[in-house]
Amino acid sequence: MDPNPRTFPILSYVISRLPSLTPRPPAADANSHSDHFDLEQPRAPEIVGQMPHLADPDLMASMGRAVSQVVQARTVLNLIGERPTHEEVDSARARLAEIEAQLSHELEEIVLQARPPEMEIHGWRAHQAEKERECRERAETEKRIWKSVLQLDEMHEAYEKLLKDAEKRLVKMYESKEDGDGDVVGDEVNEEVVGILQEAYGKGMERVNLSGRQLKLLPEAFGRIPGLLVFDLSANQLSAIPDSIAGLQNLEELNLSSNLLESLPDSIGLLQKLKLLNVSGNKLSALPDTICHCRSLVELDVSFNNLSYLPTNIGYELPNLQKLLIQLNKIRSLPSSICELKSLRYLDAHFNELHGLPIAIGRLTNLEVLNLSSNFSDLKELPETFGDLTNLRELDLSNNQIHALPDTFGRLDNLTKLNLEQNPLELPPMEIVNQGVEAVKSFMAKRWLDILLEEERKNSQEMQEQEQGGWLTRSTSWLKNVSGNVIGYIGTAGGTPRDAYLDQQL
């Protein structure tokens, strides 16, 4: 479970020097401290020669605190066992699929089983429910051992990520020391910051503002302020947020804007009361799927990052989201689930690479402000359901390649602000566009009405043709019946011979 020295050289060295993990000889005198690093061990690794500052006790003590999570995870994994092999993981997945398929088959048989005539229907349903419960419990028991294999693999995967993040952090701490930033390495041990956090913990403060302090590392202790409601860490130099953020269970507002974050911890999904999250102005390439678990979110700002997509289920699990800011990213398409954000009122997606909108975008019936400007050559058309955004007040479509507005555009009765500049628009004509939003709405509404009237005319014409066709069919049938009757009568009345000419005329 120990980090590979070749892959994680600093982390491996720091962990090997932690007194809780390294066998040590008895203290030479009574003044020895149990938490001090043994830097005088014989045969020190070559890394000390390459990185001489690792011989600094203060630096090592600071690094030791920085890797506390790694040490804890290492201890847990040592207890539960080695990582399963790829073959074992694949086998576990295959077995789970088999069990699930078998369960589906058994449940289907239970449903299709005929009720015995002597059994009353309510009793039969109770009997079926009991059999279904037994099947599910049996399947769950069988799946438990295979699930544990996958969970163990996931834990080791998370441990690998933890090692990578820890190594990056230690490298930054060493570089900070090398650059001569002072006696203490990293802002995680900044006395002023620690003092603020201690005061917040002691007094049960609800708001803490650490913005603009050039913080590079965040003290782990910040996760121990359960009463914190608002936390501002904007305009710093943070490259990572510790998983201990999950301890801020009552947090409602978190501002991490203008930092150097490349990722967010999965534990952010445990902030069940979070209403406002601002991570704009970072280096995020993706958002963790767990962000969808922050079901209380009202405002989410992820603008000015390197995002190329949003979590697939973001729309299904954020029922309270009213404001979504995703501008200045590289997003090529929006997930279809975004159409389920029924509370959404404000959506800014300008300066992306959007190729279009989900077909069901019209389901956002509470949307009031929409900015789709500056997607340039990528955005060429809007779906017909766009006209269902009946509460839309402001719309910016400038700097795109839109040739025609959708026919339903005239239904946007509440639209008062519209920007269509820098588009090769043909419909409506530019002379209409230049007259303003009301002229555009009126033109498109009249066009929509004309389309509806034309469709109604075609439908009426088709119905008339069908009715006329039916009358002719009925008339022809009646004539055939009459002529047949007359011919039959003439041929049978009094045995009179049939006249061939008369038959032909009839």
Domain chopping of the chain, boundaries: 9-19+49-177, 191-448
- List phi, psi (to 5°) of 299: -135, 130
Question: Distance between CA atoms of 59 and 183, rounded to whole angstroms?
Answer: 9
According to the model, what pLDDT value does residue 117 have?
87
Tokens of 468: 């006329």
Would you say 370 and 393 are in contact if contact means Cβ atoms under 8 Å apart?
no
According to the model, what pLDDT value does residue 473 have?
56
Residue listed under structure tokens 């340039």: 376
According to the model, what pLDDT value does residue 253 have?
96
SS (H, E, C) 412-445: CCCCCEEECCCCCCCECCHHHHCCCHHHHHHHHH
Whole-prediction pTM: 0.57
According to the model, what pLDDT value does residue 294 have?
95
- Nearest to residue 167, comparing CAs of 83, 239, 215? 239
- Give the count of alpha carbons within 13 A of 371, CB side only: 15
Question: Distance between CA atoms of 257 and 21, rounded to whole angstroms?
Answer: 38
User: Phi-psi region for residue 182, left (φ > 0), alpha (ψ -120 to 50) or beta?
Assistant: left
- Nearest to residue 232, comparing CAs of 172, 279, 167, 185? 279
Please, what is the angle between helix 9-16 and helix 68-80, to 10°? 80
Would you say 328 and 306 are in contact if contact means Cβ atoms under 8 Å apart?
no
What's the CATH class of domain 191-448? Answer: alpha beta
Helix (H) or strand (E) holding 134: helix 121-178
Helix (H) or strand (E) holding 423: none
CA distance between the termini of the chain: 104
According to the model, what pLDDT value does residue 279 have?
96
By DSSP bridging, strand 230-232 and strand 253-255 are: parallel
Question: Distance between CA atoms of 339 and 314, rounded to whole angstroms?
Answer: 10
According to the model, what pLDDT value does residue 378 have?
79
According to the model, what pLDDT value does residue 321 have?
97
The DSSP code for 249 is T
Q: What is the pLDDT along the chain (506 residues), one digit of tens a residue?
A: 567 777 778 878 887 777 654 444 444 443 444 334 333 333 345 676 677 777 788 777 777 777 776 776 777 677 777 888 877 888 888 888 899 889 888 888 888 888 888 888 888 888 888 888 899 888 888 888 888 888 788 778 877 777 777 778 788 777 777 766 444 434 444 666 777 777 777 777 889 898 888 888 887 777 778 888 999 999 888 999 988 898 899 999 999 999 999 999 999 999 999 999 999 999 999 999 999 999 999 999 999 999 999 998 899 999 999 999 999 999 999 999 999 999 999 999 999 999 889 999 999 999 999 999 988 777 889 999 999 999 999 999 999 999 999 989 989 999 999 999 989 988 888 888 888 899 998 998 888 888 888 877 888 777 777 776 655 555 555 555 545 554 454 444 444 555 554 455 44
CA angle 289, 292, 298 (to 5 degrees): 145
SS (H, E, C) 30-62: CCCCCCCCCCCCCCCCHHHHHCHHHHCHHHHHH
According to the model, what pLDDT value does residue 325 have?
97
Question: Distance between CA atoms of 438 and 443, rounded to whole angstroms?
Answer: 8
Q: Which amino acid is at 229?
A: L
